[in-house]
Amino acid sequence: MRRNHEIDYKIHGEEMQCVEIELDPNETVIAESGSFMFMDNMVEMATVFGDASDRTEGFFGKLMTAGKRILTGESLFMTTFTNQGGEKQRVTFAAPYAGKIVPLDLQQYGGKIVCQKDAFLCAAKGVQLGIEFQRKLGTGLFGGEGFIMQKLEGDGLAFVHAGGYILERELRAGEVLRVDTGCIVAFTQQVDYDIQFVKGIRNMVFGGEGLFYAVLRGPGKVWLQSLPVSRLAAKLSSYASSPGKEEGSILGGLGRMIDGV
């Protein structure tokens, strides 16, 4: 038996996805502020300070959970969407940028998933959002996500979003995977997360891949993204700072002058 609400869902789209959540009467889904797209008439939205799970806590507890959300870069508030009607109703949430939405059944993964700070999209009511401190100093300083990552706990469905294509990898006990620090989306709680220096001075200085790898050691499952939003933002920023830039142009600026740009 699950303690969290049991929701049904359908994911629409390819590159710009949205997830449609089907709610039975009195069922609730929680979501990050700003992810809402549309809902049926009998779904009621409410804004909640701090944690939106069904835990019983006083004002001080809510203040603590709100503070944790600030540490992960999220809003102080979350939104809940509850079916107040007598038949099934639907509410839909949209991904913030091009990529994939990944459904995670926390019951199948021991009740806990660790993910990057901005990955969470929505979840069944009862799923708890918290922070996961990195125990190792090096990982916290150079791991790309800092000392703090986000954790999802419970036995219900949660949905995370990441950029580009999402690759799932099952690691055997002792199996090691070296990953670009920005490409990690999530991993199960058994996976050991550490960082490692890139070998070779030329690789470090001219390789363009940074100074560190993220090292994931099994057993466990990991989810990786092909296009971290930081990489996308850097590429867009480079084009914004060089208007009229043409990739692959031999003439470069001269060609733009000829074209009248």
Q: Spell out the per-residue pLDDT of the chain, length 261, in tens.
A: 788 999 999 999 988 899 999 999 999 999 988 899 999 999 999 988 766 665 555 555 555 555 555 555 555 678 999 999 999 999 999 988 889 999 999 999 999 999 988 889 999 999 988 888 655 544 445 544 444 788 999 999 999 999 999 999 999 999 999 998 889 999 999 999 887 766 655 444 444 455 677 889 999 999 999 988 777 777 777 777 665 555 544 445 444 444 444
Name the β-bridge partners of 218. Answer: none
Total-model pTM: 0.78
What is the spatial distance between Cα 148 and Cα 151, in angstroms, rounded to a whole number? 10
Tokens 């891949």 appear where?
A: 209
* Beta-strand runs (E) in 134-219: 148-153, 157-163, 166-171, 176-179, 184-188, 192-197, 212-217
- Topology of domain 8-236, per CATH? Double-stranded beta-helix (3.60.160)
What is the spatial distance between Cα 21 and Cα 137, in angstroms, rounded to a whole number? 40
Q: Is 117 exposed, middle or buried (0-12, 13-18, 19+ CB in 10 A)?
A: middle
Q: Return the DSSP state at 84.
A: -
